[in-house]
């Protein structure tokens, strides 16, 4: 069961990180406007006391979404740059790092690495 959930989040990592960032931004906006500018706030007046909590939760969720998105894009760029090479020695130098990075990306990158290993005859 845990493997299925992990695989789902791995395949939808980019979309999930964008959604997390957007939700975090909206909750952060609600918290900021609830504290400093009540005219722009979309909350009813009875929720103004919760604005600090919305601010804290929104900040944490926003940072988590941005970090998740950044790490995905960084890993994707690293894998694509390393797979562009046609030199077996260059790929062998980074092979262990590539394998560990590809484990955290969607399955199409694992397939791309396997194809490149087959092309360059790496076990």
pTM of the model: 0.81
Length of the chain: 123
DSSP states of 36-52:
H-TTT--S-GGGGGGHH
- Residue 72 and residue 76: Cα distance in Å, rounded? 6
- pLDDT at residue 1 in the model: 60
- pLDDT at residue 115 in the model: 86
- Residue 38 and residue 75: Cα distance in Å, rounded? 41
Mean pLDDT, the chain cut into blocks of 10 residues (123 residues total): 75 91 94 80 76 92 96 92 82 84 87 84 74
């Amino acid at each position: 069961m845990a493997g299925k959930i992990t695989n789902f989040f791995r395949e939808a990592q980019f979309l999930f990180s964008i959604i997390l960032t957007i939700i975090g931004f909206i909750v952060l906006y609600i918290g900021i406007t609830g504290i400093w500018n009540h005219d722009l706030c979309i909350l009813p007046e009875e929720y103004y006391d919760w604005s600090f909590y919305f601010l804290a939760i929104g900040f944490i969720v926003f940072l988590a979404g941005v970090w998740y998105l950044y790490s995905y894009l960084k890993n994707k760029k690293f894998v694509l740059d390393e797979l562009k090479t046609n030199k077996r020695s260059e790929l062998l130098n980074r092979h262990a790092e590539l394998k560990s990075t590809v484990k955290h990306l969607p399955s199409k990158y694992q397939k791309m690495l396997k194809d490149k290993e087959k092309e360059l005859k790496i076990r």
